[in-house]
Chain A
């Protein structure tokens, strides 16, 4: 038994010792950098959220209807708006967008693209303000649709907000539009209820 142990140690002392030493180094690096990395990630997210909800100063992640949404408050602590993540299948890969909503959830205050792998120069022109700003100020209870030939036409019973797709990037643009529609229809009412209830509780 002791002989087996001796052989084992003679064979593996280097690996075990190295593992201990390297683990200690890793633990040190982790302890030193973990907070910094987490802060940066949080800061970056906050900056993005505040981009789509003007007038806010802080963003908090909360759970509404089993999803993570961001509650934006201004300097006085009042609710200035919400930001929700919408995701859809784009041309090359998934597209994730962040939609900013007003405090009552009724108006879109901004849109920004979080993740996209669309073709540079073509599909990724959805990131430009010319496309994104079309969503700003629009009501959130009316579905968005591609404006122009082939797009849905508005009618009295089914009003839509027309969004011009980026030339040469129809699929990418449609992906954003569909993603926004789906997410808004799913969460808008819950957000309004949340907004009203939090107004009631605050003095």
Chain B
């Protein structure tokens, strides 16, 4: 139980997907201008990541490995992710119209989001062996992404009123903020160590 808790904490904060693993940088810099948009993107990514993480885990564990088809891992994973995104979009559009209005526009972009494929692959390279671990890792990784992107959006909303030198406007100053965020997040290191 505490192991699962630690896996979740580690994925969300200690080894944050954006600030430690550098996954999901493109939406992190691109979609983080307003908090609403950031929340929507973060929620969509978390949902897709959790579903895809579980689905790819089951696929790899019960289909690819027993049949000796590990060479197809990357292809299978990216297609499961693309399929998940399509499926989620259809489902949300059909049954949860308000939700779709809120964050449906971000869904197609998630297929090429490094964070989702990265989460699915990290489950295996970190040696998580149960579905529970895979799901907790994916879900909390998504929450970590959400946290980082919302913080960034909040800061950028404030920066609209700042007088930023011309060369730094846009991406450079966002990257500097990300650097400071990354330093701040290293403060989480050491949690759970005995």
A and B, direct touch (CB closer than 8 Å): yes
List, in ascending order, chain B residues with CB within 8 A of A119's CB.
189
Cα-based distance from A103 to B68 in the complex (angstroms): 36
Given A27-B71, A29-B71; A174-B14 close (CB under 8 Å):
no
A92 engages B194 (CB within 8 Å): no
* Residue in A88, A92, A171, A175 whose beta carbon sits within 8 Å of that of B15 in the complex: A92
A175 engages B71 (CB within 8 Å): no
Cα-based distance from A87 to B15 in the complex (angstroms): 18
Given A92-B14, A92-B15, A93-B10; A175-B72 close (CB under 8 Å):
no
Tell me the residues in window 72-86 of chain B with beta carbons closer than 8 Å to chain A beta carbons: 72, 75
* Residue in B10, B71, B192, B194 whose beta carbon sits within 8 Å of that of A174 in the complex: B194
B72 engages A91 (CB within 8 Å): no
B190 engages A88 (CB within 8 Å): no
- Which B residue's beta carbon lies closest to that of A177? B194
Pick the 10 closest A-B CB pairs, nearest first.
Answer: A30-B71, A89-B193, A171-B193, A92-B189, A91-B190, A91-B189, A89-B192, A26-B71, A171-B190, A178-B194
Give residues in A with beta carbon < 8 Å to B: 26-27, 29-30, 34, 88-93, 117, 119, 171, 174-175, 178
Tell me, rounded to whole Å, the shortest Cβ–Cβ distance linking B141 to chain A.
14
Give residues in B with beta carbon < 8 Å to A: 6, 10, 14-15, 71-72, 75, 189-190, 192-194
Tell me, rounded to whole Å, the shortest Cβ–Cβ distance linking B184 to chain A.
15
A26 engages B6 (CB within 8 Å): no
- Which A residue's beta carbon lies closest to that of B70? A30
Cα-based distance from A178 to B193 in the complex (angstroms): 10
- Which B residue's beta carbon lies closest to that of A95? B193
A89 engages B6 (CB within 8 Å): yes
Cα-based distance from A89 to B188 in the complex (angstroms): 13
A91 engages B71 (CB within 8 Å): no
A90 engages B71 (CB within 8 Å): no
- Which B residue's beta carbon lies closest to that of A175? B193
* Residue in A27, A29, A89 whose beta carbon sits within 8 Å of that of B194 in the complex: A89
List, in ascending order, chain A residues with CB within 8 A of B190's CB.
91, 171
4 extra interchain contacts, Cβ-Cβ under 8 A, other than A34-B71, A89-B194, A174-B193? A89-B193, A119-B189, A171-B190, A171-B193
